[in-house]
Chain A
Amino acid sequence: MAIIRAGLTSALSRLCVSDVTSNNTSRLISTGISPLFFKATTCLYAEPLKKKKRIDPAIIKQREERKKKRLEKQIRRLERHARQLKPIDELEVPFEFIDEKKERIREAPALTPETLEERALLYKEWARYKRKQNMNNMQMIDRLVFAQQKALDELRQESEELYQAAIQINPTQLPFTVRGPVRTPPIKGYDSPDGEYLDVSKKW
């Protein structure tokens, strides 16, 4: 019963001039002290609704038709452009080369059977050479992996902690980049001349 009453008082309290829940009910009513007990609803600034204009249904239909048409046109335009992919110049044979193909054919003397034979032999020799090289590489990699595994095993025997530290990935090495060897060594103190930078890439 007490619970219900408490619920009711809290719900009705905002309608009340003074605090119902408080026990020391005062008979004195004053609006001059804070918090202000009187509350007014906020102004809405509304005006009576306007009368709806009646439009001819034919005009409405026409308008909708126009809107639909415009949308369709946009869709069509989008579809047309979607089909056109950005060309990759490097992969396309220029038209002038296709036109001049006949004039550009190289008249090379026919290869003699001896040359062909020699080439076939060299291809075979090359295959053997590369095979041997690859086998050697495989063996070398096996050897390297084995050496590392042995080192890790030895380390684990000494201390599990050090082993765990050793098998962590080193994030400073990733991504791994290498500057390969070049044909001639760099010239010391060489001041490379600045070329002109011309951006010829097309806008799409």
Chain B
Amino acid sequence: MNLVQMRIRSCLYSTSVKAVRKQKWDLMSAVCLERKPVISRELNDIERRFSRILAETELETSHKSDHEVRFEQDMLQAELLKSKSVDLDIDMALQQTAQDFEDAAVEEYNSFPFESRLTEADRTHDLQSLERKLDRHLLLLVQEKQWDQKVWIMPQGLRMDGETMLQTAERVLKEECGADLMVSFYGNAPCGVYKYKYPKRFVGHGENASVGAKIFFFKAQYIAGHLEHNKLKRKEFKWLGREELMASLPEEYCRNVSQFLIDEE
């Protein structure tokens, strides 16, 4: 009897009920894992010209350094020696001159093997390497199967009961990339959201079926370690720079993601 009354009521007020009824959304967390630039960027044209002028101005307004004074004294000494106005003093001749010191310093500098700014990964274009594009941000993408197609997106996962969104993000990252990866999350708050509705044919018909998903993105910084992609289910991943990223993400997803990424001009 009661049930019948309920049915009738829901039929009567169906329109208003539908308008008020909250749509159910799946909550997901995604990790926007970035490797920060390791080396500084090359100066662009105007920066190079300006820094040159700054250096020139600084030199003009400066006084002579100890080294320069010593250098001049050496020159004077040499001239005196040439003109034979003083006796050749062996001690003086054996002393290290400013020029010698400078040559030694330059030689030491040149003989030090600095690491190249371009790495092996740059040359081989190894997308799975973290050594690529050292002066840029690299972002982790994984391949995931969505409905009936494979897409490149950031690692994401559904929220479980009792988890905060950040905990979900941490768990997802551990599941997808292994425990070896050391990262630091930037904060408890998500940095962006991507909200989308599921395609009609995939939406369930039950009362509790969710209409779509809200993906909350959490930024994290790569610290150390590497992906254990051999042990885990995750086989496909790549670290991408900004332009490559925009090219490989799905269009709608990309538009949302670019809202919270730091620009690289």
Contact = CB atoms under 8 A, between A and B. Distances in A.
B65 to A, nearest CB: 8
A111 to B, nearest CB: 8
Interface in B221-249: none
Contact of A154 (B40, B113, B185, B195): B195
B189 A152 contact: yes
Interface in B33-66: 36-41, 46, 49-50, 53, 57, 59-60, 62-64
A170 B114 contact: no
B188 A122 contact: no
B39 A147 contact: no
A106 B63 contact: yes
A31 interface: no
Given A140-B262, A186-B115, A166 B193 contact: no
Contact of B214 (A126, A158, A165): A158
A101 B40 contact: no
Interface residues of A, number: 45
Contact of B64 (A106, A144, A170): A106
A150 B259 CA distance: 11
Interface stretch (A20-28, A52-60, A176-184): A176-184
B112 to A, nearest CB: 10
A186 B39 CA distance: 9
Interface string B168-210: 0000000000000000111111111101000000000000000
A129 interface: yes
B190 A101 contact: no
B263 A140 contact: yes
B25 to A, nearest CB: 6
Contacts of A105: 63-64
Contact of B37 (A126, A167, A181): A181
B134 A185 contact: yes
B194 to A, nearest CB: 9
B98 interface: no
A186 to B, nearest CB: 7
Interface residues of B, number: 49
B117 interface: yes
A165 B190 contact: no
Interface string A144-167: 101110111011001100100111
A125 interface: yes
A150 B49 CA distance: 42
A76 interface: no
A165 B188 contact: yes
Given A106-B60, A185-B38, A162 B260 contact: no
A184 B114 contact: yes
A168 B166 CA distance: 11
B25 A150 contact: no
Contacts of A14: none
A185 B39 contact: yes
B114 A136 contact: no
A165 B115 contact: no
Interface in A79-110: 97, 100-101, 103-106, 108
A154 B46 contact: no
A34 interface: no
Contacts of A143: 259-260
Contact of A151 (B40, B191, B263): B191
8 contacts: A136-B265, A148-B260, A151-B191, A154-B195, A166-B166, A185-B116, A187-B113, A187-B114
Q: Would you list the 10 A-B pairs with minimal beta carbon distance, nearest first? A: A151-B193, A165-B164, A147-B260, A104-B63, A147-B259, A151-B190, A147-B192, A104-B64, A181-B40, A184-B114
Given A136-B263, A155-B216, A185-B115, 20 more contacts: A103-B69, A104-B63, A106-B60, A106-B63, A106-B64, A119-B53, A143-B259, A144-B259, A148-B260, A151-B189, A151-B192, A152-B189, A154-B216, A181-B39, A182-B38, A184-B39, A184-B115, A184-B116, A185-B116, A187-B115
